[in-house]
Copies of this chain bind each other. A is one copy, B any other.
Amino acid sequence: MTFRRSTLALAILGLLENGPLHPYGIQRLIKQWGKDQVVNVGQRTSLYRMIVRLEEAGLITAGATEQDERYPERTVYHLTDEGREICREWLAEILTTPRNEFPEFPAGLSFVMLVPPETAGELLGQRRERLTKRIAELQLELRSEVNGQPVPRFALLETEYQVAVAVAEAKWIDSVLHDLRTGTLTWTPGPV
């Protein structure tokens, strides 16, 4: 029985390496450590459901239930040896193997000829502006501090990566915008 890999499952296993924790604690950690930037937690729904499935699969186990006066019982979950192992396997797979996850933007680009070149220019211009903001936000995060100490680089690699990719996208869009303006790149709109 192989458990389907997902960023959420990875995050739960990864965070439990820190020590046992209850579901809400996991949720808070994800936010506090900014993992919500790279892991889709949207509704809490997915988190609770994933925890149940991970337990059924034996990758985590319910331990003692903490009893804080003013909260309902909180089941604390532990990472099992199998969980720890699977987590390493997933990490290796993810880090070594580029995988097409079909983002929207390239799909959109592949139908850009349906609109006239001028419209395409306007749309991509807007994207370019938003990208600029996004890049600024990410770069701010790179300089973030905890207790007056800068966050060590190894804890910011994912943000570095996102900056690198966003900057590349911005540059590419700039070149396309340029070629649209000069007319080097053009087409007559309509079906392919």
Contact = CB atoms under 8 A, between A and B. Distances in A.
A130 B11 CA distance: 25
A123 B96 contact: yes
B91 A111 contact: yes
Interface of A: 5, 7, 10-11, 14, 17-19, 33, 35, 37-40, 87-88, 90-92, 94-115, 120, 123-124, 126-127, 130-131, 134, 152-155, 157-158, 160-162, 164-169, 171-172, 176, 185-187, 190-192
Contacts of A126: 95-97
Contacts of A7: 102, 104, 107
A127 B152 contact: no
Contacts of A39: 102, 107, 110
A115 to B, nearest CB: 6
B102 A40 contact: yes
Pick from A7, A98, A167, A176 the residue with the most CB of B within 10 Å: A98
B10 A157 contact: no
Contact of A176 (B94, B112, B157): B157
Contacts of A37: 100
Contacts of A158: 106-107, 109-110
Nearest to A133: B98
A112 B161 CA distance: 13
A88 B115 CA distance: 8
B130 A98 contact: yes
Nearest to A87: B114
